[in-house]
Amino acid sequence: QQQVKQSPQSLIVQKGGISIINCAYENTAFDYFPWYQQFPGKGPALLIAIRPDVSEKKEGRFTISFNKSAKQFSLHIMDSQPGDSATYFCAAKLGGTSYGKLTFGQGTILTVHP
């Protein structure tokens, strides 16, 4: 029930294309859903996040779509660029006194070809 399932495991996209990464969860006590971007040898960096009472959030080329009834959320990267090539992790945070403790998805390795 604590798991967050992420797909696909890897994704190859041409420059200018749309990258879509999906995540699903079971625990309805999650109250915050961030996406992190990680480059090799670096720590994860917060990319964008959404609350369950919002269906979509857009920041620049990055958009999160959230479907509360289906318990699914996804990251869309528009106009994908080679510099977006990285590993992306979705995550979910339990509400209450969890002090920000996150449950991570398995990760998606995104490769954007020039």
Partner 1 sequence: GAVVSQHPSWVICKSGTSVKIECRSLDFQATTMFWYRQFPKQSLMLMATSNEGSKATYEQGVEKDKFLINHASLTLSTLTVTSAHPEDSSFYICSAPLAGIFNEQFFGPGTRLTVL
Residue 24 binding partner 1, by CB under 8 A: no
Cβ neighbours, 10 Å, residue 37 = 19
By CB under 8 A, is residue 52 in contact with partner 1? Answer: no
Q: For residue 83, state whether it binds partner 1 (rule: CB under 8 A).
A: no
CA–CA separation, 106 vs 55, rounded Å?
23
Stretch that binds partner 1, among 35-43, 55-63, 64-72, 74-82 (CB under 8 A): 35-43
Contact 7, 22 (CB under 8 A): yes
Instruction: Identify residue 104 by its one-letter amino acid code.
Output: F
CB of 3 to partner 1, least distance (A): 11
Q: How far is CA 83 from CA 34, 57, 59, 78, 90, in A?
A: 20, 22, 17, 13, 19
49 binds partner 1 (CB under 8 A): yes
Site of interaction with partner 1 (CB under 8 A): 31-32, 34, 36, 41-46, 49, 51, 89, 93, 98-102, 104-107, 109
